[in-house]
Amino acid sequence: VNVITCLDLIIRRSKLASDDFYKKTLKQPIAIKEKKVKNVITNELGTKMGRIHMEKQDFNQLQTRKMKGLKRNLIIDNEQTLGKRKKIDSIN
């Protein structure tokens, strides 16, 4: 008893698709290029180091921390000195 599967393949369609559809089927996607990474260096140990470019800072415009406790003392001191000045001016 011979048990062999036999297959007959026949091409039944001899017509080609329309030109537009044929072009779409043959179109292959463009290989995606990796973006060049700028200002990043990898050393022998595998650590990444980068360079950051910044503008010069103007230290006069730099916001510093404002302490409320110091402000109150300054206001009180200013009022006291103004009061003394008024007294001195009134004496003269």
> What share of the chain has pLDDT > 70, as a percent?
70
**Tokens 């537009």 correspond to what residue?**
20
DSSP annotation of 89 reads: H
**Cα–Cα distance measured from residue 47 to residue 41, given in angstroms and rounded to the nearest whole number:** 8
CB of 19 within 8 A of CB of 26?
A: no
Confidence bin at 27 (pLDDT 50/70/90): confident
Task: Give the residue with greater pLDDT, 42 vs 76.
Answer: 42
pTM above 0.85, yes or no: no
Whole-number percent of the chain with pLDDT over 90: 15
Tell me the three state secondary structure of residue 41: strand
Q: Is the pLDDT of residue 42 over 80?
A: yes
Average confidence (pLDDT) over 3-8:
83
Q: 3-state class of 86 per DSSP?
A: helix
Q: What is the mean pLDDT of residues 29-52?
A: 87
d(CA 78, CA 71): 10
